[in-house]
Structure 1
Amino acid sequence: MSDQPSVYLAGPEVFFPEDLRIHIDGSKKAVLAEFGFEGLSPSDNALDLERAANPAQVIYDANQTLMDRATALIANLTPFRGPSADAGTIYELGYMLARGKPSVGFSVCNVPYNKRVESEAEVDANGAAIEPFGLCDNLMLDCGLARHGGTLVQGERAYPATGFAPEDFFDEELFRRAVRHLRSQMG
């Protein structure tokens, strides 16, 4: 175990093809190391899921152990499988904020959440209201991070009609900005 502060890397990358996931994890960990942080990825868990009675619970428990060990969190909140961030990543962000751990989010997308849901509409196709605030994602993410001293850093990519391809989820300079915010938040 390192004496460096450690950063849990939340995001949907665990669902990406292995080669790409390994590349992104490695790139993030290299940047974190430059700033004096140790990166902790859910993919670091060596789990024997073949023999597990409940593989989902084993994954959850291992990820929670990593989050408990981590000093801080950086969450990839790029829209995943729809107009909002990955649900598991959102949970992890809330968990870390509730534990009082410094947290920063980033999204490669520059299109506000409400525009991703229904371009100019105030309600969606089912008649449900759409948050009109022009934030990066749901107000609970943007405002939650801000209330706890963090931020949600946005990139420059437009939101594609088909959603982001796995290879478009990482932007090294954007991630560096997120790490700089985290470093300043931690003093």
Structure 2
Amino acid sequence: MSRTPLIYLAGPDVFFPEAIRTRIEARKKAILEDHGLTALSPCDNDLDLEQAQDPARVIFEANKALMDRAQGLIANLTPFRGPSADAGTIYELGYMTAQNKPVCAYTTCATPYNERVAGGADTDQQGTMVEGFGLCDNLMLDCGIMSTGGFIAKGTIPWRPKGLSPEESFDEDLFRELASAMRDHFQNT
């Protein structure tokens, strides 16, 4: 690799308590560095939100600028605030996929999406259909990741309706798998 590829870190981690978020982010950055990659995190943005007229827009534009600089993305799709991945992470994954940038993802949750939503039934409590494919999340996420040549690393923690804790939302071994895949991708392109 002539230039260190920049990898955007997508996930709900930005919402975790500061001590947990800082520890997890430091591990992710170190693992990527060990693999010859450089992390770009939304937490790297130094934003003056107190002076901003539209703080949400400032955050959006800053994160979009990081994604535009990045050559790839690693997403944390561990269920967050419900049975599915964080909505912002889903947007970021789609944004990068639309640019044909390589994306990989992980979830520490072993339980497939359809079982988290409806216990494996064909419909949920409102009678609406649930995708019964046994995927990590919605088929557009799983298949979108695969379309870039990426993959999803899955952990072993079973789903609980109360959700998974921030500490349970990171697994170094899973992240190392993705860092290796990203490194290999850039070495072979």
TM range (shorter): over 0.9
Deviations 1:102-131 (A, max 9, x none): 110110011000000011311011111000
1:113/1:135 contact within 8 Å kept: yes
Structure 1 residues without counterparts, runs of 5 or longer: none
Structure 2 residues without counterparts, runs of 5 or longer: none
Distance 1:130 1:27 in 2: 35
| 3-state DSSP of counterpart to 1:46 | coil
Q: TM-score when scaled to structure 1?
A: 0.97
Distance 2:120 2:137 in 1: 16
State the superposition RMSD in angstroms.
Answer: 1.2
Residue matched to 1:90: 90
Distance 1:82 1:64 in 2: 25
1:117/1:124 contact within 8 Å kept: yes
Length, aligned pairs only: 186
Residue matched to 1:123: 123
Residue matched to 1:114: 114
CA shift at 1:9, angstroms? 0.2
CA shift at 1:180, angstroms? 1.6
1:150 aligned onto 2:157: no
Q: 2:57 corresponds to which letter in structure 1?
A: Q
Distance 1:184 1:109 in 2: 25
Residue matched to 2:141: 141
**Structure 1 consecutive aligned stretches of length 4 or more whose deviation exceeds 3 Å:** none
| 3-state DSSP of counterpart to 1:85 | coil
Residue matched to 2:40: 40
1:109/1:155 contact within 8 Å kept: yes
Distance 1:162 1:49 in 2: 32
1:150/1:185 contact within 8 Å kept: no
Residue matched to 1:66: 66
1:183 aligned onto 2:170: no
Distance 2:183 2:157 in 1: 25
1:14/1:43 contact within 8 Å kept: yes
Residue matched to 1:18: 18
